[in-house]
Each structure stands twice: as C-alpha cells, then as structure tokens.
Amino acid sequence: MILISPPPVDLSEIEQILSDVYQVKAESADHSMHTGDTVNTILKSFLVPGGALGNNGVIRLKAGGISRGNGGNKDYELKFGSSTGFVITIAPSVDPVHWMMFATCHNLNDVFAQHWTYLWFDGLTVGWNETAHAGSQNTGVDKSLELKGKLSDVGDEVECNAFTVEINPTT
C-alpha cells in the first residue's frame, strides 16, 4: 500500500483569502435592550455604504440576544432600507429565551434587486426562510441595515447583545 501525504497547508493563506472575501464592517457586543412600550425600536443598525455591494455583492449578518417575559410575543425585524428582510417571533416564556439569527442579502446582478435567506433559532424553534427577489433597494446609495425589536406587552424585554455585519463586495 502506498500512502500519499497531502502538501502542507499554510493557514495564513486561507485566512487571507477569507478576509478578502468577507470584510467585517460592524461588530458589537454592546447590549441594546428595549422595554416599556410596544413601539418597534431599533436595537442595532449599520449604514451600508452606497456601491459597497456592486451588482452581485452579499451582506452577511450574525446577531444574537435574549428575550424576557411571558406577557406576549417578541418580534425581531431585520430591515434593509425600506424593505423588511424578515421578522422572527419569539413566544412568551417564563424563562429567558436566548436567540440567534444568521442572514444573507445578495444583490441579483443588479443594484436594484436583492434576495434574502435567513436561519434563526431560539432554543426551542429553528426557522429557515428564503425570499427570492425580496428587495428592490438601490444599493448604489447608502442604505441602513436595522435590527428592530417590538413587544406585545410593555413588561417584556427584547435584547440584542451580539451584532456582526460582513460584506462581500463584487464589481
């Protein structure tokens, strides 16, 4: 039997390739919390610079937090410009509910057409959705990416304690 060893892998080259592909644009571990009213409130936001995506670029978002309270549902909405990418709802719970979401927004060979995909989980539920041609935002100009929280009961809390935005630009 002949064994062939693979060539050595230079991890610094792989890290460089990955850093060239997705560039971290915003990262925050600050706690943003909302309670006391039922207004849809911005927990985290990032201004995506106009032209940063090109015609086929991708925004990748990772966020996480905690929902507290059993008075009603807690909604987390991800908006890009004036388009809602998606809304996740966490049911009332006596115990705090930890949640995470991962989302991508792709330009579809045009700065006026986007496609969203997201995955989220909250300890009990795993959700996945894909919404083809879900946006028609002009990414050639600055657009705000916002994570909002909304309560059904004023005594509950929505919180985001991790938020990372990465961009893979293309020409």
CATH label of the domain that carries residue 38: 2.60.120
Q: What residue numbers bound the domain in which 94 lies? A: 26-168
pLDDT at 71 exceeding the cut of 90: yes
In-domain check, residue 76 = yes
Q: Which is higher by pLDDT, 53 or 27?
A: 53
In-domain check, residue 4 = no
In-domain check, residue 123 = yes
In-domain check, residue 19 = no
Per-residue pLDDT of 103-129, as tens digits, reads 988 898 998 988 888 888 887 788 887
Mean pLDDT estimate for the chain: 84
pLDDT at 45 exceeding the cut of 90: yes
In-domain check, residue 150 = yes
In-domain check, residue 1 = no
- How many of the other CB atoms lie within 10 Å of CB of 113? 17
In-domain check, residue 58 = yes
Domain count, the chain: 1
pLDDT at site 125:
80
In-domain check, residue 72 = yes
